[in-house]
């Protein structure tokens, strides 16, 4: 077994997570604050410094680093290792040669994948979906991302986008315009990015409540709901109804054994899971077997660990089947 190390980078909108991986385990971990609006080029020097620090802490050299992998929040081409399209996060990334970046700094191979696809692979290999062959993961945060494992392999599609755009299925064709350009997407109707607008446009909450819209997040709202606040409960239930509608569509489209829910919002799983279970049970057409809905087990590490699936020692036997290499 090779003793060469790998770096995994999960490029979040406000936090970048970086793990040093050996034999499938994260042996060192750090985070870097980020501002995705400033672009990826502005963040690369901070990422380089963080990676160099991890290597120094483990007392290893660049020669012992085999691969640098990145989980990116947008459309990517994993074969050419290029970002294809962004959605208000790291919008300069399409013009950056990341393969050259990794090679020039550490002489390492570079891997690139969509962050939601890597998250579902992580949960499938090591977490909540381990032992299953058909999985959908929905990550709820600033935006809403999805990834799919179908018949025991990650779903990719002709243009490498299959399964990753579940946040942009339409749940209300008369709804709010999404940042992707469509109308009524799941993300536009029930994500953190649109939460202030969701609150201000709601007809069943007071003007006093609406005045605080910019100060509120889902963590606060679910805590207020737990403490009996009716207006907060109204907003939370509105968003959970949207998530339930999306999950029903995923079940009808992909026929999964299990739906994994991720994101910081799952700190309120005690409220969210029973509500979604009830709604989905009533709405999904599943006469043979009910689809389980469970929280992520790996949390923030899901995408980092998902990169293991694509590392060089497994690439030949797995990725050739996925990408037709």
DSSP state of 277: H
Q: Report the first-to-last Cα separation within the chain, whole angstroms.
A: 24
CA–chain centroid gap for 184, Å, is 20
Mark 229-266 as b/e (b = at least 16 C-beta within 10 Å): bebbbbbbebbbbbbbbbbbbbbeebebebbbbbbbbb
* Torsion angle in degrees (nearest 10) through CA of 148, 219, 276, 242: -70
Q: What is the pLDDT of residue 313?
A: 53
Q: Flag whether pLDDT at 325 surpasses 80.
A: no
CA distance 232 to 224: 6
- Rg, C-alpha atoms of the chain: 20
Which tens digits make up the pLDDT trace of 1-43? 567 899 999 998 788 999 999 888 889 999 999 888 889 999 9
For 219-252, what is each residue's pLDDT tens digit? 999 999 999 999 999 999 999 999 999 999 999 9
Ranking 146-150, 172-176, 184-188, 314-318 by mean pLDDT, the lowest is 314-318
If one compares 264 and 323, the residue with the highest pLDDT of the two is 264
Q: In the prediction, which pLDDT does 143 show?
A: 87
Check whether 213 has a pLDDT greater than 70: yes
Looking at the chain, the whole-number percentage of residues with pLDDT higher than 70 is 95
**For residues 124 and 302, what is the distance between their CA atoms, to the nearest angstrom?**
9
List the domain boundaries for the chain: 5-114, 128-296
Query: Phi, psi at residue 303, to the nearest 5°?
Result: -70, -40
Fold of the domain spanning 128-296: Nucleotidyltransferase; domain 5 (3.30.420)
Q: What is the enclosing helix (H) or strand (E) of 65?
A: strand 65-72
What are 74-123's pLDDT values in tens digits?
Answer: 899 999 999 999 877 899 999 999 999 999 999 999 999 999 999 999 99
Mean pLDDT of 268-296: 97
Cα 222 to Cα 42: distance, rounded to the nearest angstrom:
35
Instruction: For residue 289, name the pLDDT band (cuts at 50, 70, 90).
Output: very high
CATH entry 1.10.20.10 includes domain 5-114: no
């Amino acid at each position: 077994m090779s003793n060469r190390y790998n770096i995994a980078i999960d490029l979040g909108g406000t936090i970048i997570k970086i793990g040093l991986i050996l034999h499938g385990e994260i042996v060192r971990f750090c985070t870097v604050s980020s501002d995705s609006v400033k672009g990826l080029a502005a963040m690369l020097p901070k990422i380089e410094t963080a990676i160099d620090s991890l290597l120094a802490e483990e007392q290893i050299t660049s020669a012992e680093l085999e691969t640098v992998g990145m989980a990116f929040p947008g459309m990517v081409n994993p074969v050419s290792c290029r970002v294809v399209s962004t959605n208000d996060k790291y919008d300069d990334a399409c013009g950056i040669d990341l393969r050259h970046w990794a090679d020039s700094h550490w002489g390492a191979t570079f891997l690139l994948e969509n962050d939601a696809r890597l998250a579902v692979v992580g949960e499938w290999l090591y977490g909540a979906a381990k032992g299953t062959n058909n999985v959908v993961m929905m990550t709820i945060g600033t935006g809403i991302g999805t990834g799919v494992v179908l018949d025991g392999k990650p779903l990719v599609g002709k243009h490498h986008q299959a399964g990753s755009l579940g946040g942009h299925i339409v749940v209300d064709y008369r709804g709010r315009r999404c940042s992707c350009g469509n109308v009524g997407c799941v993300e536009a109707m029930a994500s953190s990015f649109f939460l202030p607008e969701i609150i201000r446009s709601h007809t069943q909450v007071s003007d006093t409540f609406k005045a605080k819209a910019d100060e509120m997040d889902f963590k606060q709202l679910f805590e207020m709901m737990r403490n009996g606040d009716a207006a907060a409960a109204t907003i939370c239930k509105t968003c959970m109804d949207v998530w339930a509608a999306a999950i029903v569509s995923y079940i009808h489209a992909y026929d999964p054994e299990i739906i994994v829910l991720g994101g910081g919002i799952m700190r309120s799983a005690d409220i969210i899971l029973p509500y979604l279970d009830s709604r989905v049970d009533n709405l999904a057409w599943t006469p043979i077997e009910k689809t389980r809905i469970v929280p992520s087990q790996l949390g923030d590490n899901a995408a980092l660990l998902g990169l293991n699936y694509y590392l060089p020692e497994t690439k030949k036997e797995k990725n050739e089947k996925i990408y037709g290499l």
